[in-house]
Amino acid sequence: MTRRIERLNELIREEISELLHRQVKDPRLGGFLTVTRVTVSPDLRHAKVFVSIMGTEGEKKEAVEGLASASSFFQRKLRERLSLRRVPQLSFHKDDSIERGAHVLHLIREVAANEVAEETE
């Protein structure tokens, strides 16, 4: 990946995060949403936006649907805010890495607690 694409990934991630927290009024996006990363294609035509969503599976599904329906809004705002010749077409994807990390930490704590319990016996 080139340095230019890396910078563009980070710039789009920051802009979408700010738009989500300040300008989007969709009730489906009212939960805890975090843009974890953006991956722009080498031809700069498409961008995958990965979001971490806290909530039930139904809330997560609604949030992804809300993001997909707001993609044209995000593209329009990115066009206004960034000086790009072409703003990539956005697609939103659920990212479970934060939840998986929390689950792994929970398992590690359980194992550590069991080891301490066995040592005290």
pLDDT along the chain (121 residues), means of 10: 91 93 75 89 94 86 89 93 90 88 91 85 71
Tell how many helices (H) and how many strands (E) occur in the chain.
4, 3
pLDDT at 57: 86
**Residue 40 and residue 32: Cα distance in Å, rounded?**
24
What pLDDT does 31 receive? Answer: 67
Unique residue bearing structure tokens 């359980």: 110
CATH code reported for the domain at 3-95: 3.30.300.20
Give the residue extent of every domain in the chain: 3-95
pLDDT at 80: 92
**Quick one: DSSP state of residue 72?**
H
pLDDT for 120: 80
